[in-house]
């Protein structure tokens, strides 16, 4: 199993540096430490980490800006985020951005280690395929209703993605790791291929049946004037319809 990749984006401090190195050793992770928001964004784009630990207050780009810029750059490959906050407004900002956890700053080693351990546990959770079999079959029926051809490779991947998201809405905050990766393992392919083929299936369907037809199935949750939905939007809409039907 490859080490979990973690970026610490924190204000420069010998204490937090020592803490990060201890976490790296104990949790068998690959830890990188940066001290500015600008460097956090640059390194995040480069290595696409599994987990980002980010202080709300950073030079050049604050922690909230780091989350915004990485989400815009990485999309479904966004890491789990642990936000460090001293002030209520920063905690609220992290909360609006759907970060995985918010930890009080000054950092406490036991609290931070527990938060990281919880995120690593999420990364290691495998899909319970039998549990979601019924949701998968229903997702297939919905996709056919949309006009998506089941001969497209992305059809099956998208149906399973909707079923997995139906089983846990928090998976939509880390689509790449919580949805694409389990599907890739199941079908002996790569997460990038799962993402690409879902995108292809969505685009082919939108081109052939039109946004209005898709709008008719999803109701007012999708605006045809906004064009093609992203993978995450389509997966989220599919999961929402599964919840409504059950």
Q: Which pLDDT band, with edges at 50, 70 and 90, does 64 fall under?
A: very high
Q: Which pLDDT band, with edges at 50, 70 and 90, does 143 fall under?
A: very high
For residues 9 and 73, state if they share a domain.
Answer: yes
Say which CATH number the domain at 73 has: 3.40.50.2300
The domain total for the chain is 2
For residues 167 and 101, state if they share a domain.
Answer: no
Distance CA(135)–CA(125), nearest Å, equals 19
User: Can you tell me the mean pLDDT for 31-42?
Assistant: 96
For residues 165 and 104, state if they share a domain.
Answer: no
The pLDDT, as a whole number, for residue 160 is 94
For residues 215 and 105, state if they share a domain.
Answer: no
Picking from 65, 96, 124, the residue at the C-terminal end of a domain is: 124
Residue found under tokens 């989400």: 71
For residues 97 and 141, state if they share a domain.
Answer: no
Mean per-residue pLDDT of the chain: 85
Containing structural domain, residue 155: 133-245
Q: Which pLDDT band, with edges at 50, 70 and 90, does 47 fall under?
A: very high
Sheet with 51-55, edge to edge strand ranges: 29-34, 4-9, 51-55, 80-85, 101-104
For residues 234 and 143, state if they share a domain.
Answer: yes
Distance CA(217)–CA(138), nearest Å, equals 14
Distance CA(184)–CA(94), nearest Å, equals 30
For residues 101 and 183, state if they share a domain.
Answer: no
Helix (H) or strand (E) holding 76: none
User: Can you tell me the mean pLDDT for 35-52?
Assistant: 95
Picking from 124, 149, 182, the residue at the C-terminal end of a domain is: 124
For residues 86 and 153, state if they share a domain.
Answer: no
pLDDT in tens, 70-112: 989 987 678 889 999 988 889 999 988 888 899 999 888 889 9
For residues 140 and 81, state if they share a domain.
Answer: no
Picking from 94, 124, 154, the residue at the C-terminal end of a domain is: 124
For residues 93 and 10, state if they share a domain.
Answer: yes
Instruction: Kindly report the number of other CB atoms within 10 A of residue 114's CB atom.
Output: 12
């Amino acid at each position: 199993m490859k080490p979990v990749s973690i970026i610490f984006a924190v204000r420069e401090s010998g204490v937090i540096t020592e803490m990060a190195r201890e976490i790296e050793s104990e949790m068998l992770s690959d830890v990188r430490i940066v001290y500015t928001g600008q460097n956090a964004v640059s390194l995040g784009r480069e290595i696409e980490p599994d987990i980002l630990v980010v202080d709300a207050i950073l030079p050049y780009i604050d922690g909230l800006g780091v989350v915004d810029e990485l989400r815009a750059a990485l999309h479904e490959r966004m890491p789990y985020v642990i936000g460090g906050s001293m002030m209520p407004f920063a905690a609220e900002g992290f909360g609006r951005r759907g970060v995985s956890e918010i930890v009080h700053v000054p950092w406490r080693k036991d609290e931070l280690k527990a938060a990281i351990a919880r995120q690593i546990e999420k990364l290691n959770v495998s899909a319970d395929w039998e549990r979601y079999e019924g949701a998968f079959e229903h997702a297939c029926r919905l996709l056919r209703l949309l006009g998506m051809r089941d001969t497209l490779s992305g059809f099956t991947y998208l149906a399973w993605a909707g079923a997995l998201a139906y089983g846990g809405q928090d998976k939509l905050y880390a689509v790449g790791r919580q949805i694409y990766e389990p599907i890739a393992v199941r079908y002996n392919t790569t997460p990038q291929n799962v993402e690409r083929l879902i995108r292809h299936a969505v685009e082919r369907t939108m081109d052939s049946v039109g946004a209005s037809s898709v709008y008719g199935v999803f109701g007012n949750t999708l605006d045809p004037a906004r064009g093609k939905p992203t993978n995450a939007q389509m997966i989220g809409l599919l999961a929402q319809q599964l919840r409504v039907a059950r």
